[in-house]
Homo-oligomer: A and B are copies of this chain.
Amino acid sequence: MELAEAKLKFIEAWGKLGSEWGINRTMAQVHALLLVSPEALTTEEVMAELSISRGNANMTLRDLIDWGLVEKQHKTGERKEYFYAEKDTWIIARRVAEERKKRELDPVIKILGQLTEVKGDKKDPAFKAFHSSVTDISRLANNVNKTLDTMLKAEENWFFGSIFKIFK
């Protein structure tokens, strides 16, 4: 397999994985393209490489910047904007975890906390089932949350290293 083909395979696989996890396929593909590009690319280049429209490229790049995965660069003497992807995989993982925690996990943890407090007839099986399921899920969600907080602060080697040490 040659580089050009391998690049396409990578972009395709990254896009597929993203879409399976609720991330816009194009956004994941643009990210993949930038990840394997040694140099920052222009909007035009992204449009051409992936055959997408200007509007789509612009919005997608902005989203990637919002996620903290891509940064704008300016070259002296040029007006065009260039886009460059963070290449450190562990930083990428942390940024994604951070963003999704904030957008999705935190809100649901808040709601679960409220639902945990709902009072009802302790003799009613419907209430008992509700209360115990919600309490259990709430506890698990909080554990996941704490683990993510740890991960956000940790170095990769420390994080996985320590996990593997215990569970070997």
Contacts and interface: CB of A to CB of B under 8 A. Distances in A.
Contacts of A136: 87-89
Interface string A130-168: 101110110110010011001000101000101110110
Contacts of A147: 160, 163
Contact of A6 (B37, B115, B156): B115
A17 interface: yes
Label chain A's interface by main secondary structure: helix
Interface string A79-97: 0000000011110010000
Contact of A130 (B36, B124, B127, B146): B36
Contact of A10 (B37, B115, B140): B115
Contact of A7 (B90, B130, B150): B130
Interface stretch (A48-56, A66-74, A104-112): A104-112
A2 interface: yes
A36 B133 CA distance: 6
Contacts of A17: 104, 108
9 contacts: A1-B114, A1-B118, A2-B118, A6-B134, A21-B22, A89-B140, A93-B140, A143-B160, A150-B167
